[in-house]
């Protein structure tokens, strides 16, 4: 196995942040160190990149573990395991020769990038000099369009790195750089995808699940806990608030016509989440709504539902169709869990012929029929269970 010395990590969107760039770089480094602590000696910033110095004598299995962990870190455009070499063309060539196997390619390309302008050779000159040595040693041909092998050389302020493979990342902004939001996590496909999208915009996502009185703990653990575990790998932690809803559920069933129950239910859900948001200093609420996907997601009904929230409602899926949402759910690893049977509160509120054009004034009047509304919300929050999911509790 090649003895890699460093990992070079590139980002994309962070690079356009100008005056705030250091803040985003700092958060990305924090997130990287969180998961790579057992494998690296130190992590440093270079011009436009992050560089991790690897511990010596890592096993191939450990390199694979590192790769998997970095692939889940939001904010990375791509990363590569590299070999550091001296600032001499001869040493660069020796490093290149140590990385490549002549039996694995017939054509090649050298791609040099020089952020250190003090280095005496331009990027193009490095390409030419190293390429000539590869041709001389291996008798291979250059192909600039579709080479079998691409050799990357990065000249930084302090080191020169050589590598032949790079792994794409998730891009976006590093989680934790944009504040906290609360996600209403149901048992369905949509809300986990919404949570993931907000993570890619730099938000820490805290989850709230409204628990039906008909569910037992085993059902909750088999699905909702596991969804949080999957999502936690994208932000290194998860907080899950489980809110008992049976008392409010009974009141809605008793005093609200069947075709309006889902609307009233969702209004109460948002009122509860607004209170939890205060505890978490969250700035917005995230839902999995997509216009017209179900009856409660018509524009008229969404107007009535969102009116109950003091915080902004963020709906990253609002213009996506179900196939697009499913595609992302499969990509992030939540789909198989989301399709498991799970009778959440929504399933008990849906009428055969639900209202699709609700009027806000009428909905507010219906809500007045529910006795001791504020107390019901207070009692539900006071009985809420907080679950923390993380390998390292210091990050919570």
Antiparallel, parallel or unpaired: β 167-168 and 238-244: unpaired
Q: Do 199 and 293 reside in the same domain of the chain?
A: yes
Residue 374 forms beta bridges with which residues? none
* Residue 396, pLDDT above cutoff 90: no
pTM score: 0.91
Q: Do 119 and 225 reside in the same domain of the chain?
A: no
Q: Do 106 and 230 reside in the same domain of the chain?
A: no
Q: Do 247 and 152 reside in the same domain of the chain?
A: no
Q: How far apart are CA 211 and CA 216, in angstroms?
A: 9
Which of 141, 168, 195 corresponds to the end of one domain?
168
Q: Do 210 and 338 reside in the same domain of the chain?
A: yes
In this prediction, residue 14 has a pLDDT band, given cuts at 50, 70 and 90, of confident
Q: What is the mean pLDDT of the chain?
A: 92
Number of domains in the chain: 2
Residue 76 lies in a domain: yes
Q: Do 17 and 122 reside in the same domain of the chain?
A: yes
Query: Which pLDDT score is estimated for 340?
Result: 87
CB-based contact 313:285 (threshold 8 Å):
yes
Average pLDDT over residues 137-152: 97
Residue 264 lies in a domain: yes
Instruction: Report the CATH number that the domain containing residue 384 is assigned in CATH.
Output: 3.40.50.620
Q: Residue 197 sits in which domain range? A: 180-395
* Residue 321, pLDDT above cutoff 50: yes
Residue 175 lies in a domain: no
Q: Do 141 and 202 reside in the same domain of the chain?
A: no
Q: Do 21 and 159 reside in the same domain of the chain?
A: yes
Query: Which pLDDT score is estimated for 350?
Result: 61
Which of 108, 133, 168 corresponds to the end of one domain?
168
Q: How far apart are CA 222 and CA 229, in angstroms?
A: 11
Q: Do 240 and 367 reside in the same domain of the chain?
A: yes
Residue 173 lies in a domain: no
Query: Which pLDDT score is estimated for 12?
Result: 83
In this prediction, residue 393 has a pLDDT band, given cuts at 50, 70 and 90, of very low
As a whole number of Å, the end-to-end CA separation of the chain is 37
Q: Do 152 and 245 reside in the same domain of the chain?
A: no
CB-based contact 196:221 (threshold 8 Å):
no
Instruction: Report the CATH number that the domain containing residue 26 is assigned in CATH.
Output: 3.30.2130.30
In this prediction, residue 395 has a pLDDT band, given cuts at 50, 70 and 90, of very low
Q: How far apart are CA 202 and CA 20, in angstroms?
A: 13
Q: How far apart are CA 110 and CA 100, in angstroms?
A: 12
Q: Do 254 and 379 reside in the same domain of the chain?
A: yes
Residue 123 lies in a domain: yes
Query: Which pLDDT score is estimated for 280?
Result: 97
* Residue 351, pLDDT above cutoff 60: no
* Residue 247, pLDDT above cutoff 80: yes
Tokens standing for residue 332: 């992030």
Residue 1 lies in a domain: no
* Residue 389, pLDDT above cutoff 70: yes
pLDDT (tens digit, 9 = 90+) per residue, 166-204? Answer: 999 999 999 999 999 999 998 899 999 999 999 999 999
pLDDT (tens digit, 9 = 90+) per residue, 200-222? Answer: 999 999 999 998 765 666 667 77
Residue 366 lies in a domain: yes
Which of 134, 168, 202 corresponds to the end of one domain?
168
DSSP 8-state assignment for residue 178: S
Query: Which pLDDT score is estimated for 347?
Result: 54
The greatest distance separating any two alpha carbons of the chain, rounded to the nearest whole angstrom, comes to 86
Residue 362 lies in a domain: yes
Catalogue the E-assigned strands of the chain: 6-10, 40-46, 49-54, 78-85, 107-114, 141-142, 149-155, 160-163, 167-168, 180-184, 204-211, 238-244, 284-286, 313-314, 385-389
Q: Do 243 and 365 reside in the same domain of the chain?
A: yes
Query: Which pLDDT score is estimated for 331?
Result: 96
pLDDT (tens digit, 9 = 90+) per residue, 67-121? Answer: 999 999 999 999 999 999 998 999 999 999 999 999 999 999 999 999 988 899 9
Range picked from 11-15, 214-218, 349-353 for highest mean pLDDT: 11-15
């Amino acid at each position: 196995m090649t003895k890699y010395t460093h990992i070079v990590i590139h980002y994309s969107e962070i690079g356009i942040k100008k005056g705030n760039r250091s803040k985003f770089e700092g958060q990305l480094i924090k997130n990287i160190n969180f998961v790579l602590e057992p494998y690296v000696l130190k992590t440093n910033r270079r011009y436009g990149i992050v560089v991790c110095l690897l511990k010596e004598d890592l096993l191939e299995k450990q390199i694979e573990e590192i790769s998997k962990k970095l692939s889940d870190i939001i904010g990375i455009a791509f990363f590569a395991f590299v070999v550091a070499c001296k600032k001499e063309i001869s040493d660069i060539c020796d490093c290149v020769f140590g990385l490549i196997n002549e039996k694995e390619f017939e054509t090649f390309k050298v791609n040099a990038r020089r952020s250190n302008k003090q280095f005496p050779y331009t990027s193009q000159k490095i390409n030419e000099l190293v390429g000539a040595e590869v041709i001389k040693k291996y008798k291979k041909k250059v192909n600039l369009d579709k080479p079998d092998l691409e050799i990357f050389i990065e000249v930084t302020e302090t080191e020169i790195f050589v590598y032949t493979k790079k792994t794409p990342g998730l891009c976006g902004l590093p989680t934790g750089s944009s504040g906290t939001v609360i996600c209403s996590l149901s048992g369905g496909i949509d809300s986990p995808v919404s949570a993931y999208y907000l993570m890619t915009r730099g938000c820490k996502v805290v989850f709230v699940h409204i628990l039906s009185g008909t569910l037992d703990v085993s059902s909750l653990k088999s699905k909702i806990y596991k969804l949080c575990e999957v999502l936690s790998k994208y932000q290194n932690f998860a907080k899950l608030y489980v809110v008992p809803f049976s008392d409010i559920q009974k009141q809605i069933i008793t005093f609200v016509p069947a075709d309006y129950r889902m609307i009233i239910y969702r209004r109460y859900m948002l009122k509860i989440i607004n209170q939890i948001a205060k505890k978490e200093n969250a700035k917005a609420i995230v839902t999995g709504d997509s216009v017209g996907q179900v009856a409660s997601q018509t524009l008229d009904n969404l107007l009535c539902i969102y009116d109950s929230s003091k915080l902004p409602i963020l709906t990253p899926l609002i213009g996506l169709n179900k196939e697009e949402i499913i595609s992302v759910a499969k990509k992030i690893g939540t789909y198989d869990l989301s399709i498991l049977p799970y009778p959440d509160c929504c399933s008990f509120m849906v009428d055969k012929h639900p209202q699709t054009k609700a009027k806000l004034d009428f909905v507010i009047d219906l809500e007045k029929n529910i006795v001791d509304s504020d107390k019901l919300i207070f009692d539900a929050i006071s009985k809420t269970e907080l679950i923390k999911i993380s390998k390292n509790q210091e990050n919570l």
